[in-house]
Structure formats: C-alpha cells, structure tokens
Amino acid sequence: MRQRPFDIVFVVFFSIFFVTCLISDLIPTVGIAQTPDSSFLPAQWNYAYSSMNDPLFLHPPFWMRIVTGLSAFVYMPFYVLLVLAFIRRWNWIQLPAVIYATMIVALTGIVVFGVEFFGEVEWRTPHPGVFLLYNGPYVLIPLLLLIRMRKPLPFARRF
C-alpha cells in the first residue's frame, strides 16, 4: 500500500461504509422503527439524522426499503471484499467493483438523490447541504472507484 497511497482512502471509506450499512441501512430494511425513544440506539441515531434532514429515509416507501436492503445485504459484504482486494492487490475485483460502482451511482446518485432534491415535497430534504455531507461520499467514492478500475490490472499501477 506504500506504493499506492491513495488506495488507503478506499480502504478507509469502504470500512466506514461497512459499518454505516450495518447501523443505518439494516434498520429500515428490516422495519425497525426509527424513533427518538427506541430501545435500539442505532434507530435513535437514524431518527436524529433523518427527522431533520432525510424524510425519505425516516419513512421509506417500499422501493426505498429495497435500496437499503441492497445496501445491507449485498453492498455490506462486498465492502469487506473490496477492502481485502485493495490490501491484497486482487486484480480480479475489477469487474465486480465496476458493477458495484455503477449500481451505486445509478440507484443512489440518480434515483435517491433525484427524489431527495426534485421529488415529491414530502420526500425532499429540507437541508440539501447536510444531506450531501452525509450521503455524498456514498456516490463520490464509487465514482473514484470507477476511475481507479478504468484499466486492466488496476493494482499493477499506482493509480
């Protein structure tokens, strides 16, 4: 990793994404109520964020639960593979990484962000800056991953 210092950024962010999937995306997927008085602390954290900034996440419609379900049950284990691939220089991860990044950009960057900024009034974020601060990395890092994986044998070069 010393020869590829920017890859440390990917390892750090994908590790964080793993934890946030476990804490945030699993809760609406399995139907745990996000309330300020929940006995489940991560549900309280979700409520604290979403009640002020993300009404779509606070009361997700069925389609949004599918999106969070993908994150909780597909992307979350894939983050472990990505971290290992970056550490161990597994070039075979290139195609799965491109597929993952394309899905994230399409589902989160276009659909979810589109609803949050341009959708029905009840789903729009009242604080776009805060929303982007929390959610922007989930699109930006996959975009950078697409750039990182643009050529064959991605770990045979520095970036």
Express each pLDDT in 111-128 by its tens digit.
999 999 999 999 999 999
pLDDT at 1 over 90: no
Note the pLDDT tens digit of each residue in 79-104.
999 999 999 999 999 999 999 999 99
pLDDT at 5 over 90: no
pLDDT at 158 over 70: no
pLDDT level of residue 63 (50, 70, 90 thresholds): very high
Q: Per the structure, how many domains does the chain have? A: 1
Is 145 part of a structural domain of the chain? Answer: yes
Is 60 part of a structural domain of the chain? Answer: yes
Q: Where are the alpha helices (DSSP H) in 23-136?
A: 26-30, 41-53, 55-58, 62-70, 76-88, 94-104, 113-118, 128-135
Distance CA 68, CA 79 (A): 15
| Mean pLDDT, residues 29-58 taken together | 94
**What's the gap between Cα 37 and its chain centre?**
26
pLDDT score of 28: 93
Is 28 part of a structural domain of the chain? Answer: yes
pLDDT score of 73: 96
- The pTM (predicted TM-score) of the whole model is 0.91
Is 58 part of a structural domain of the chain? Answer: yes
The boundaries of the domain holding residue 95 are 7-156
Is 2 part of a structural domain of the chain? Answer: no
pLDDT at 159 over 70: no
Q: Which residue would you say has higher pLDDT here, 114 or 1?
A: 114
Non-local CB neighbours of 15 within 8 Å, separated by 6+ positions:
79, 83
The whole-chain average pLDDT of the chain stands at 94
pLDDT at 16 over 90: yes
Neighbour-count burial for 88-126, b at 16+ CB within 10 Å, e otherwise: eeeeebbeebbebbeebbebbbeebbebbeeeeeebbbe
Q: Which residue would you say has higher pLDDT here, 148 or 1?
A: 148
Is 1 part of a structural domain of the chain? Answer: no
Is 55 part of a structural domain of the chain? Answer: yes
